[in-house]
Amino acid sequence: MKHRDEGYALLSGQGLEIGALHEPAPLPDACAVRYFDALSIDEAAERFPELDRNTLVDVDFVGNIDQRELRTLGEHSQDFVIANHVIEHVACPIAMIEDMFYILRPGGRIAIAAPDKRFTFDRERAITTFEHLKSEYEAGVQEVDDEHYLDFLRHVGKHVFEEPGRDIKADIAFVRSRREHAHVWDSDAFRDFLVRCKSVLGIDFEIEYQSSGDENSIEYFAILKSEATA
């Protein structure tokens, strides 16, 4: 992920990384970071046995993004926030953006990345429209519904519909337990999503650095710098 390094170099101070799991961001010496996740290290080791437990980060804050628990860290409490390949898993991406800016101090930075579907197992899935995301935000959605996970299975786990006697409800429950991708973007769509969040949420930021899937063949990665005054 060398394309992220130039963006990380812009970060400093005390910050938070969300959902680092076993791949925490390599940060400059000027950064002190704590970790937020839905699972403790013990729970993550049990849920993802394919990962080496020794590589999992020690989670400082266990909380549910979908329940808006990022806000428990306090308004303007972080110099930076990092969320790499997290937002595609959550129930309401617009609410997550809102809450990251809530805990970010004025003039702070957010490092955010979302997989570009063209380079992942999501390649056959339709891009999630902003209108869909806005309607979920306005409805106060706080849980990924079964239809999102059925869409994942229809395109990524097609075999479950082909095997006789398969319990689809159990397959949905398994996908839910692993918090698979609920929403899908390519690089252009994700950048558009970020920009359109400005007017919906009444926030202002500049995209200070970005790298698209066309350049890195995996994701859209950006550094968002908030306005200097709250």
pLDDT band of 230, cuts 50, 70, 90: low
Helix (H, G, I), strand (E, B) or coil at 87: helix
Q: Phi then psi for 144, rounded to 5 degrees?
A: -70, 125
pLDDT digits (tens, 9 = 90+) for 107-159: 999 999 999 999 999 999 999 999 999 999 999 999 999 999 999 999 999 98
Cα angle value 86/90/91 (rounded, 5°): 165
Q: What percent of the chain has pLDDT over 70?
A: 99
* CATH number of the domain enclosing 220: 3.40.50.150
Between CA 83 and CA 98 the distance in angstroms is 13
Task: Provide the residue range defining the domain that includes 132.
Answer: 2-141+183-226
Same domain, 79 and 162: no
DSSP string computed for 142-155: -S--HHHHHHHHHH
Query: How many domains, in total, are found in the chain?
Result: 2
Closest CA to 221 of 124, 121, 116: 116
Helix (H, G, I), strand (E, B) or coil at 2: helix
Alpha helices, DSSP H only, in the chain? 5-8, 41-47, 93-103, 130-138, 146-156, 168-177, 187-201, 213-216
pLDDT digits (tens, 9 = 90+) for 23-32: 999 999 999 9
For the whole model, what pTM was predicted?
Answer: 0.94
Same domain, 36 and 107: yes
